[in-house]
Structure 1
């Protein structure tokens, strides 16, 4: 008779490498594995595949043979039914249970049963251990004696009873005395749920002594225990190899949880170990609702009592304690005996494997860190300006320091403000918040402190100043290490390493600060060089007296403007020459002449549009680049504004001095076929137009050109 479950199954992940199946956790792999092992021994692997095909279960034979794989009651009954059909034996499930000691019962169960000393002790504790195999039934011992017992076995509400399940339970119960070298128990079963009774009742009896000679009985019991111990050793050795073969730490931790089921049968497991890189503990679980895991993890690591159904051990080697492992039963349920010793033995192997894996992880982390440092060095060597340097530093920091995100903030001494130049590891919205932030020294005590003592600061979302708490909350960060960037005693800015809330734990150690200082030193040196290079470039392309672009830079911008001009566009160049400049130098001196040039440059800046360029080409000659002109006549308006800049006299050494200008204009229309040649032509044409204007306003007899 096939059974089924009413209701919605819960999702389960059987183990590492398995496909996730939507299955209720109602039947342990210790049961399904026994069925498939029996079929394989009596009919071969082809029969196993036939059983799986007939049952239509969404699992492989390997998955169903793992103690960590839990399936639904419906899957269990379909497997039982298919096995009976393939083997052609309606009563085969009794044999599966009765012969389980020989066909592959979990070795840890055999060892625990044998350690209890007698069948009577086993049957007395059996009801507590039923949930390790099935969560759909309840067992009660109604009467127990030295050689007899009465057991009541009832299926929970919502499930349809199967006689195959009953046969399997009878077989398992009859097998218990054989673990002690005795004959199987005799089971009388007159009340069955399949016949309409409220529960299945089993009357058991067994011989206190074997009918065989004493020596043979002792040898049989010893053989069963020895075989189980050997199987356990092989399982532990296999587990150690399997763990070390893990590709990464996450895989290894998942396998530890999976393999724990082979050591101790339980409905659920929880593992929490410290991260080799610091931060929050690494947690893996099986059989637990995700919502319950965080609270249970906190209690596990705090050493709190998880209840009478929990078996908890330290995952510790001779070198270090990694964390804790728990096999979890429901209250009132548990194991057959000293499961803690079994789990501790396994945890010791797991810890030794973790020693190796974490050493490998640390080595890999150092390799990644070295790679990140090389990338940073390469990036800084290729960076040509301050923004590129800041981005290279911010991008490299997470790999070097081990933080989740990073940033470089530069100090503006004129505005006494710190603002972001580059960041990495943040989402687009977070990056927008950080780049929009302006940190003023008078508002942020942490910044004021760094300006005063030049020392780094560890800032937390809970313990920082109000502005920093607000910023970190908006960014979703819990902790930030801020290190000043210094050029000698000069404060350049701050480099930051940051972690999301709950990520850091022990990560903010000396190593983190040392690595951050190393990056900060490189960043400071690169920023100094970049700013020095910017100064050299500026000096090479700008007039030292007025700060305006010189002829070289003016021509570069003119060429670029011509190259970008569309077919319908216009570019204009104004060439300006001061009137009476020589007279100022002759009468008031060259210092006054220099002051005049500075005041002229300031007025010209105010007269043109933001996108226009003013250049000092030589002596008293200035030029104005006007891209994006509306038309050739539009240049006249620019000329008028330039001329108006000279309407008011200039004040030199307390004396008002009237100075005029002669201005020439040249306009290029349409796309430029040769921007460089057109730039030279425009400059010549504007210069010629300026000379013609000067000739008209000041004939040669009045003053030579340049006066």
Structure 2
């Protein structure tokens, strides 16, 4: 397992370190390679150093040269590495490019440009050249200590050029060396004239080119297979850079392509500072000329142009002749891979959306609460629509505002902001318009009303699609899909809107069903006349209180029975009796503490749940307030009617007892209270009883 990636100056091509390790392996096997790496003490594996795309520093290069010379015990090691480069696996693309120049003379004339493919720390110049001779100067840049080993490697590599054309190596005279104090290294070369014979059969002269073509074909096939096998954009882009570096050696690379998902352009680079990458990527995507030290080709297929791929050299350097064609071949494979990836990604998205819609339908079928419906819809929207964030907001007709019921956003602060910001119709004209025409809205900060503009800016959203959630003619709320800067698809009014509306329609049906179920549940657990919890719900809450209250605290129940309620019904009618019950429930709710529960058990029987009592006697204060509810007469049929109540109290320690037993205990206590303090209801203005008494 390799360690973390090590970053150092990109000054030596992997072609150089690859040739060195190939020679060491040939001479001493894998053990010798391992020993070279150990002695050099470099932070790279052999596999990394043999990659053409892997550049290292000048210092690493010299350490490896010295270690190889020591391990093999041959002072001519570096000269031999250069001289035998062709047999060691010199990059096939470079062999083909050199062969395309036609003769050693043309190669030596182009050699200064080729040097940039191996190192960025030296400059070569052609002093003079002829048909069978040339004089070259080679100078190490300021700040780098000259190494005779590096010079010997250069001599071997330079002298090897004629062998690419089936000729013997060049004869080389090294008259001046920087290691000896000269300003440059000077090389005088002579070689045999290339002979041409018409109509001859292929000979050994053609072997280098044939081998290079075969290797190049293998690399192209490998690149195609590797790219096509990639399953995500990140992997494809990385492999495009890696594979292209095998075709064209260069110190710097930039790849800029359109994002298949519709977001900002995707840019990958190697060997360049970020500011240079940003500027060059913008130039490439604009289709402008990137400059003389850049070789750029389109990453294009028959279907579309994805972007551009470029090799970058030092100012003053440039690529070799025919290099653009070699690079274009790789760019073609890259475009085909991106085409396939986009097709696969589109298929995956559609399959994912179909699966999401099925899951959405299933989950909505099981969602019985409006808040659950909203949560399911908000979670599904990013996968169905392809948005970055989504929300479902419910309309509150009583308050005239939208409130966020569910919100999905990778930024937690944004969720808090959405839940805490109701949108009132009086402040948001877009909401008024939607309430009127039930049509979707496409929102951007710059064109929105002040309240929406402030909200979108705080959420860092630049594009929002909002659709009304409507059931029949009833406006239930709004579903939204949102994107930050540069993330929204180019067209929002097409497929995006269609998908969002589809999910909104499902949400409307589910919300309508949830509200119906909520009504049914409420009717099953609440008294239809007063709206108070009925006996079933009261006992359920009492059971929960007993189970959750700590043992050192208490739960209390007050059982209230109206005194002579039948008399009111008989004298004023059942409508007045119903009104009395409604007024009693209102007074009781006003008298209890926050967290207490009032329930109507049956007829004129009410109960109050006191879930948290520090001491049993704390219930007495609530009893006093309940009794106080009946101090003032009730207004019934235009007359004041004085009605009393008998109250029973039962208190139980938390964590024990049953709800039924505690309720029965309070009922029993109520009857004891009623026997002690009988009460007769009085009509305050009854002419039959001057004292206001009226027996029914």
TM-score by length of 1: 0.90
Counterpart in the other structure of 2:643: 660
| Residues 347 and 222 (structure 1), Cα distance of their counterparts in 2 relative to 1, 3 Å cut | same
Task: Number of aligned residue pairs: give it.
Answer: 688
Tell me how far 1:437 sits from its aligned partner.
Answer: 1.2
Partner of residue 268 from structure 1, selected from 245, 248, 252: 252
| Residues 331 and 692 (structure 1), Cα distance of their counterparts in 2 relative to 1, 3 Å cut | farther
Partner of residue 307 from structure 1, selected from 280, 291, 299: 291
Distance 2:159 2:175 in 1: 15
Counterpart in the other structure of 2:335: 351
Partner of residue 166 from structure 1, selected from 124, 143, 151: 151
Tell me how far 1:247 sits from its aligned partner.
Answer: 4.4
Tell me how far 1:341 sits from its aligned partner.
Answer: 0.9
Tell me how far 1:104 sits from its aligned partner.
Answer: 1.4
Partner of residue 209 from structure 2, selected from 201, 210, 225: 225
Counterpart in the other structure of 2:59: 74
Q: Secondary structure at the match of 2:15?
A: helix
Distance 1:673 1:508 in 2: 60
1:56 aligned to 2:67?
Answer: no
1:691 aligned to 2:653?
Answer: no
- Counterparts of 1:107-186 in structure 2, within 5 Å, are 107-186=92-171
User: Does the CA contact (< 8 Å) of 1:666 and 1:689 recur in 2?
Assistant: no
Q: Secondary structure at the match of 2:392?
A: strand
Counterpart in the other structure of 1:193: 178
Tell me how far 1:259 sits from its aligned partner.
Answer: 0.6
| Residues 689 and 474 (structure 1), Cα distance of their counterparts in 2 relative to 1, 3 Å cut | farther
Tell me how far 1:436 sits from its aligned partner.
Answer: 1.0
Distance 1:422 1:278 in 2: 26
Tell me how far 1:216 sits from its aligned partner.
Answer: 8.1
Counterpart in the other structure of 2:505: 521
Deviations 1:177-226 (A, max 9, x none): 3333344333221111111111212223334434x978889845533223
Deviations 1:145-176 (A, max 9, x none): 34333222111122111111111111222222
1:566 aligned to 2:537?
Answer: no
Counterpart in the other structure of 2:73: 88
Partner of residue 390 from structure 2, selected from 406, 421, 426: 406
Deviations 1:388-422 (A, max 9, x none): 22222222222222222222211111111112112
Partner of residue 104 from structure 1, selected from 78, 89, 113: 89
1:368 aligned to 2:352?
Answer: yes
Distance 2:159 2:24 in 1: 20
| Residues 625 and 209 (structure 1), Cα distance of their counterparts in 2 relative to 1, 3 Å cut | closer
| Residues 227 and 215 (structure 1), Cα distance of their counterparts in 2 relative to 1, 3 Å cut | farther
1:599 aligned to 2:583?
Answer: yes
- Counterparts of 1:283-682 in structure 2, within 5 Å, are 283-506=267-490, 508=492, 510-579=494-563, 581-653=565-637, 655-682=638-665
Deviations 1:261-306 (A, max 9, x none): 0111111222233333332333322223345444433332222222
| Residues 296 and 592 (structure 1), Cα distance of their counterparts in 2 relative to 1, 3 Å cut | farther
| Residues 698 and 534 (structure 1), Cα distance of their counterparts in 2 relative to 1, 3 Å cut | closer
User: Does the CA contact (< 8 Å) of 1:108 and 1:262 recur in 2?
Assistant: yes
User: Does the CA contact (< 8 Å) of 1:411 and 1:417 recur in 2?
Assistant: yes
Judge which range, 444-453 or 288-297, deviates more: 288-297
Distance 1:333 1:706 in 2: 116
Tell me how far 1:686 sits from its aligned partner.
Answer: 4.4
User: Does the CA contact (< 8 Å) of 1:189 and 1:202 recur in 2?
Assistant: yes
Distance 1:398 1:664 in 2: 57
Tell me how far 1:428 sits from its aligned partner.
Answer: 2.4
Judge which range, 66-75 or 54-63, deviates more: 54-63
Tell me how far 1:551 sits from its aligned partner.
Answer: 1.9
Tell me how far 1:704 sits from its aligned partner.
Answer: 13
User: Does the CA contact (< 8 Å) of 1:579 and 1:659 recur in 2?
Assistant: no
Distance 1:574 1:215 in 2: 118
| Residues 335 and 466 (structure 1), Cα distance of their counterparts in 2 relative to 1, 3 Å cut | same
Distance 1:515 1:331 in 2: 51
Tell me how far 1:345 sits from its aligned partner.
Answer: 0.7
Deviations 1:483-532 (A, max 9, x none): 22111221111222222322224374633323222222222211111111
Distance 1:358 1:45 in 2: 42
| Residues 85 and 629 (structure 1), Cα distance of their counterparts in 2 relative to 1, 3 Å cut | closer
| Residues 681 and 491 (structure 1), Cα distance of their counterparts in 2 relative to 1, 3 Å cut | same
Distance 2:276 2:362 in 1: 47
| Residues 507 and 151 (structure 1), Cα distance of their counterparts in 2 relative to 1, 3 Å cut | farther
| Residues 66 and 632 (structure 1), Cα distance of their counterparts in 2 relative to 1, 3 Å cut | closer
Judge which range, 585-594 or 268-277, deviates more: 585-594
| Residues 118 and 469 (structure 1), Cα distance of their counterparts in 2 relative to 1, 3 Å cut | farther
User: Does the CA contact (< 8 Å) of 2:650 and 2:662 recur in 1?
Assistant: no
Distance 1:490 1:520 in 2: 14
User: Does the CA contact (< 8 Å) of 2:549 and 2:654 recur in 1?
Assistant: yes
The RMSD of aligned alpha carbons is: 2.9
Tell me how far 1:337 sits from its aligned partner.
Answer: 1.1
Q: Show structure 2 runs of 5+ residues with no match.
A: 683-690
Distance 1:505 1:91 in 2: 62
TM-score by length of 2: 0.92
